[in-house]
Amino acid sequence: MHRFRHWIDGQARDAAGGRWLDVHDPANAQAYAQVAAGDGADVELAVAAAQAAFPAWSALPHSERARWLEALASALETRLEDFAQAESRDAGKPIRLAREAEIPRAVSNLRFFAHAATQFASESHHGQAGLNYTLRAPLGVVATISPWNLPLYLFTWKIAPALAAGNTVVAKPSEVTPATASLLGELAAQIGFPRGVLNIVHGLGPEVGETLVRHPAVRAISFTGSTAVGQRIAGIAAPLLRKVSLELGGKNPTLVFADSDWRANLDTLVRSAFQNSGQICLCGSRLLIERSIYDEVRDALVERAQALKIGEPADEATALGPLVSQAHYDKVLAALERARGEGGRVLCGGHALDRPGWYVAPTVIEGLGPDCASNREEIFGPVVTLQAFDDDAQALALANAGDYGLSASVWTRDLNRAHRLAAQLRVGMVWVNTWLQRDLRTPFGGVGASGLGREGGAEAMRFFTDAKNVGLHL
């Protein structure tokens, strides 16, 4: 059975304690590999390697750091198919999604921040207070902790800006999906990436993640994952006065107005609900529909959801694969029970599929109000709820109900309404007549229970640097 090892100081390593965790294939629920179960001793080694590598890496000219990131991007691009296959198996992701969207995006992340390394500029202010300029220095050793839903995509989204800004990194991928991070460690070693600059420690959150968060040499933690773990990390980091960036859960509304071109955009609306089996923090899991078109939209959506091709992740025709793990499958099925208990009418799906693996049928539920747990708590599965609204004010109230505030999409031809709502929606990102269309320069993140801080472009470069202002009297 294949074993995914740590990558510390440019070398593959078993866990110090010699322990392994099983890694499962979500399409058949069988263990297909093992991953090193790290602990504090592995974290110590990785942090020490990162500390030792920091002076040389941070002293490199920006253009050299950019060159290394570009080299890693190019190496990944040449191995794209291998990585797509590995991601598809490890996470139960449809192969086309891995090949056409997620691994290419990992390449783009590395490439984008290679450019950012050379483009990130100091600010200066000239005026009554003389001349002020702001130096931006890398922090030192930083930790990144990432989830299982978009494994390499989110892993690279964090390590790339951290490295571009001159930090050295200890990265902890999800123990549920360790494959592609491990392959990237191997790739970095193959191209001679400077040792100790990127270290990867596998293992459980409380054992590896939390030890990293507490480690005195770790200057910042960039975390993406659940709100509960984000809150725990914030609680540990706050008294240590450690910088944190927290990208957490979502319960995102999709607002469909009667004047929108919803029929022509049904594909995107369906994708926004069900892509990656709904396991994307940006998925629109609450569909809010203007009452005059409610029945039509509902029927069209149910028809499309039922037509989604469910199958083996490796099958080119598969649109919807399994959920990622037994624990997550149990959680989603429990949420479906809860929705029924709350009085929800299940229009399609609502059950597991009678086949091996963690498959849940695409599910559309109506009849639940904004106060139900089903509309307030993240389900993170192929489940969308429908609610009707009568006017803009009601649409906004429904959209803003609940604690999460990650993203929203608004579908209307009325530009004034779109801009008015965009300003009033309590979220970090709004899409108008589109969904998940990302410009990597823009701020990425949420408000409320969806997190703290922003990633993306200059925001990420600022997070991974300390500012020092220098003022001169002229």
Give the residue nearest to ligand NAD (CB).
205
Q: Which is nearer to ligand NAD, 33 or 281 (CB)?
A: 281
Amino acid letter, 356: P
Among 239, 240, 310, 302, CA closest to 266: 302
CB of 472 to ligand NAD, least distance (A): 40
Q: Which is nearer to ligand NAD, 323 or 395 (CB)?
A: 323
CB of 229 to ligand NAD, least distance (A): 3
**Hey, is 91 helix, strand or coil?**
helix
What are the C-alpha distances in Å from 73 to residues 13, 77, 90, 104, 260? 24, 6, 21, 10, 39
CB of 305 to ligand NAD, least distance (A): 21
What are the C-alpha distances in Å from 144 to residues 160, 188, 218, 343, 464? 11, 17, 10, 41, 11
**Hey, is 39 helix, strand or coil?**
coil
Phi, psi of 348 (to 5 degrees): -160, 155
Q: Which is nearer to ligand NAD, 92 or 446 (CB)?
A: 446
Q: Is the dihedral of CA 170, 36, 181, 429 positive or negative?
A: negative
- 210 catalytic per annotation: no
Phi, psi of 386 (to 5 degrees): -115, 135
CB of 27 to ligand NAD, least distance (A): 19
Sheet holding 124-127, edge to edge: 124-127, 130-138, 465-472
Length of the chain: 474
Q: Which is nearer to ligand NAD, 21 or 388 (CB)?
A: 21
Q: Which is nearer to ligand NAD, 283 or 339 (CB)?
A: 283
Q: Which is nearer to ligand NAD, 97 or 248 (CB)?
A: 248
Tokens of 346: 């299940």
Q: Which residues bind ligand NAD (CB under 6 A)?
A: 145-149, 154, 172, 174-175, 205-206, 209-210, 213, 224-226, 229, 232-233, 247-250, 281, 378, 380, 406, 446, 451
Among 428, 381, 455, 404, CA closest to 227: 404
Query: CB burial class (10 A; 0-12, 13-18, 19+) of residue 261?
Result: exposed
Q: Which is nearer to ligand NAD, 187 or 248 (CB)?
A: 248
Report how far residue 203's alpha carbon sits from residue 6's, in angstroms, rounded to the nearest whole number. Answer: 9
CB of 378 to ligand NAD, least distance (A): 5
**Hey, is 6 helix, strand or coil?**
strand
CB of 231 to ligand NAD, least distance (A): 10
Q: Which is nearer to ligand NAD, 27 or 406 (CB)?
A: 406
Report how far residue 78's alpha carbon sits from residue 107's, in angstroms, rounded to the nearest whole number. Answer: 10
CB of 250 to ligand NAD, least distance (A): 5
CB of 262 to ligand NAD, least distance (A): 26
CB of 233 to ligand NAD, least distance (A): 6
DSSP-derived secondary structure for 388-427: EESSHHHHHHHHH-SSEESEEEEE-S-HHHHHHHHHHS-S
Q: Which is nearer to ligand NAD, 255 or 406 (CB)?
A: 406
Report how far residue 457's alpha carbon sits from residue 445's, in angstroms, rounded to the nearest whole number. Answer: 12
What are the C-alpha distances in Å from 418 to residues 23, 263, 282, 397, 401? 45, 18, 19, 15, 19
Q: Is the dihedral of CA 409, 415, 417, 423 positive or negative?
A: positive
**Which of these is catalytic: 87, 207, 210, 247?**
247
Q: Which residues are catalytic?
A: 247
